[in-house]
Amino acid sequence: MSRDPRYDILFEPVRIGPVVAQNRFFQVPHCCGMGHARPQTAAVMRGIKAEGGWAVVATEECDIHHSSDVSPYIEHRLWNDDDIAQHALMVDAVHAHGALAAIELAHSGRMAPNHFTRTVPVGASAGPNPGYDPVAARELTRRDIRELRGIYRKAAIRAKSAGFDIVYVYAAHMLALPAQFLSKRYNQRTDEYGGSLENRARFLKELIIDAKEAVGDRCGIAVRWMMDEMMGDAGLQCNEEGIEVVSMLAELPDLWDVNVSDWDNDSATSRFQPEGFQERYVSAVKQVTTKPVVGVGRFTSPDAMVAQLKRGVLDMIGAARPSIADPFLPRKIEQGRLEDIRECIGCNICVSGDYTMTPIRCTQNPTMGEEWRRGWHPEIIPPAGSRDTVLIIGAGPAGLECATALGKRGYEVTLADAREEFGGRVIDESGLPGLSAWRRVRDYRLGQLHQLANVELYPSSEMSFSNIADFGADQVVIATGARWRSDGVGREHHVAMPGAEQSFVLSPDDIMSGVKLADTIVIYDDDHFYMGGVIAELARTYGANVTLVTPAADVSHWTHYTLEQRAIQERLAELGVDLRVQWSMQSVGDHVAEFACMYSDRVMTLPCDNLIMVTSRRSDDRLYRHCMAKLSELKDAGVAAVSHIGDCVAPGTIAAAVYSGHLWARQLGEDSHGAELPFTRELIDITA
């Protein structure tokens, strides 16, 4: 196949100062939970993106000094010359495929608590760390600022030595010291670095000039800039100081990388923002500079990309999350393989890797984070290691991924599901408010399966033990998922709640199956991810009076890791949901629920027509256990082994289910006997 000429504009080269990008695809800086602790893991991951056609591949935030220690978060470091070799690994991996390597030099100022280094934090002005760390920053003196400019300059020179082609001056998300200088909230100085916007922009201007003088003959200089903090008069706004800063410094850098602040606004989930939502912020920059502009917006549609280019919104298609979901997105557009693109669903499970200080993972791309330690490639999978035939029972995310990966390996696969429509929990959940993009998990895999002649699909085909025995497959994989409990068993309670067996007590599965809700609803959320909040939103759209109760300190607490907790709580408050936090359910009466305060002797009784338990799920492993109990009979029928995957093993995220299915498919027929670990650990060489 060849490229559709409508997309030719996407493959035009772009000059960035002294270097040239081979096309308009730009993987902007994004965290990956690898950083200085796992440089080989990060290098191979970024290198695969270059192989996939991204013309520019950037690091994540790279701290330039020990006074900018963001531990326990695992970012890159360029504190001294000892760090250069780590970065050269990534540069070489990116250059091997003809792409440009970019590094985001950063100092986090008062945002850096310096837990590891125990250095006193510094800031434009003195003040406490904006998080909950019991530390405060001292104000930088003029001499400190001169020394800090020298530190930035040395970092840029080290980046050049490592081979980087583009050096960032990072001034976005209020995580960066230059942004803090620009902020009226964080800068109360009265000298030449405070007061007027020109003064507050002085530090950023000096850093750009210093970088140009230090490495501008060899490296392009990029500025990552926030156009709007999306907090009204309390912060920087696009049509005021946001655009004024760009106008003031318009021609100084070689490229502007534009977004909004803070990170939860910039990387908003698909539940709260559509593709291309940052257009109005990015387009303003193009009006005041001749330098190329990169913008983001969770772009997956080539038509949307082309439209923004032709309308003069931006010059390069910036992406973090879409490049994670499909590192080969540019190559597939270039080759006319649009149907093979794994579109980002905007769930932000990738972001959780940074918050949990672990390698990044992705719902759509199960190879993400496994490129080095397992040797997994997103587009290349080893051929079948045996001639086994495989029967997969259950076409949810685990079963679909397992069938897709096995089919691409060349195995003869049959995928059966009791339901008429494939997709399992993905189909159910994508019908909830804001989650329609999640359907892409099903759609991508089903599209791939329809291209594979060696995979047979059987919807509306409930499988029993006798069916399995009669079928005659060598390998049987059971992916029958999990079901939500309605008995209150969860994190707070490990046994069934008294009274929960009554008919007015429902589970999320009941809601997703279309059970009609009554007028007064109480939701007990002991799950702490998205489901409780989504069910509350759905109930409000039906006009019900809704109270959401949780033992956590806030609603949907785990979604802090996916950058949407604040948006969820704001949405529920706007909808009029009554939010009761730090209450634990004790019992269920006659259309009432009894709760106890988590920290006192107070009790609370809430009347309800329906009580919805969002507490935990239980694996639907009945068929698996039946098969294992009669395994000898199956072996007599020719079945070599019975396995289970995904939620059928243990309930988890959709990403975990997809990964489970992919892992099983990769391992079939492969000899892993004798291995103490299923992957390679990245260890520090203590002999050096």
Tally Cβ neighbours within 10 Å of residue 131: 10
pLDDT at position 673 is: 63
Residue-wise pLDDT for 6-16, tens only, equals: 999 999 999 99
Mean pLDDT of the 298-305 span:
96
Distances (CA, A) of 192 to 195, 198, 250, 500, 588: 8, 9, 21, 66, 65
Given 31, 238, 344, 402, the catalytic residue = 31
Hey, where are the domains in the chain? Answer: 5-355, 389-481+620-667, 487-618
Structure-block tokens of residue 51: 């192989």
Q: Nearest-CA neighbor of 18 among 302, 236, 217?
A: 217
Cut 0.75: pTM above it? yes
Given 266, 315, 326, 354, the catalytic residue = 266
Mean pLDDT of the 304-325 span:
97
% the chain with pLDDT above 70? 99
The b/e string for 254-280 (b: 16+ C-beta within 10 A; e otherwise) is bbbbbbbbbbbbbbbbbbbbebbbbbe
Structure-block tokens of residue 573: 């408050």
Mean pLDDT of the 500-519 span:
96
Mean pLDDT of the 577-606 span:
97
Mean pLDDT of the 107-120 span:
95
| 278 pLDDT more than 90 | yes
State the alpha helices, DSSP H only, in 287-424: 302-310, 321-325, 329-334, 349-355, 397-409
Residue-wise pLDDT for 467-486, tens only, equals: 999 999 999 999 999 999 99
**pLDDT category of residue 234 using cuts at 50, 70 and 90:** confident
% the chain with pLDDT above 90? 93
What is the C-alpha separation between 165 and 155, in angstroms, rounded?
14
Higher pLDDT, 234 or 310: 310
| 202 pLDDT more than 70 | yes
Mean pLDDT of the 272-294 span:
94
Given 73, 152, 168, 170, the catalytic residue = 170
Mean pLDDT of the 92-99 span:
98
**pLDDT category of residue 584 using cuts at 50, 70 and 90:** very high
Residue 585 backbone zone (phi > 0: left; psi -120 to 50: alpha; other: beta): beta
What is the C-alpha separation between 630 and 421, in angstroms, rounded?
30
Domain 487-618 bears CATH identifier 3.50.50.60? yes
| 18 pLDDT more than 70 | yes
What is the C-alpha separation between 657 and 401, in angstroms, rounded?
9
| 127 pLDDT more than 80 | yes
Class of domain 389-481+620-667: alpha beta
Given 76, 173, 528, 644, the catalytic residue = 173
Q: Is 73 a catalytic site residue?
A: no
Q: Is 173 a catalytic site residue?
A: yes
Pair 243, 186: CB distance under 8 Å: no
| 1 pLDDT more than 80 | no
What is the C-alpha separation between 669 and 495, in angstroms, rounded?
41
Sheet of 578-581: strands edge to edge?
505-506, 610-614, 520-525, 545-550, 578-581
Q: Is 402 a catalytic site residue?
A: no
| 133 pLDDT more than 90 | no
Give residues with Cβ within 8 angstroms of 499, minimum separation 6: 505, 587, 588, 589
| 304 pLDDT more than 90 | yes
**pLDDT category of residue 236 using cuts at 50, 70 and 90:** confident
**pLDDT category of residue 239 using cuts at 50, 70 and 90:** confident
Sign of CA dihedral 422, 274, 646, 371: positive
| 671 pLDDT more than 80 | no
* pLDDT, averaged across the chain: 96
**pLDDT category of residue 688 using cuts at 50, 70 and 90:** low
What is the C-alpha separation between 136 and 142, in angstroms, rounded?
19
Q: Is 266 a catalytic site residue?
A: yes
Report the CATH fold assignment for 5-355: TIM Barrel (3.20.20)
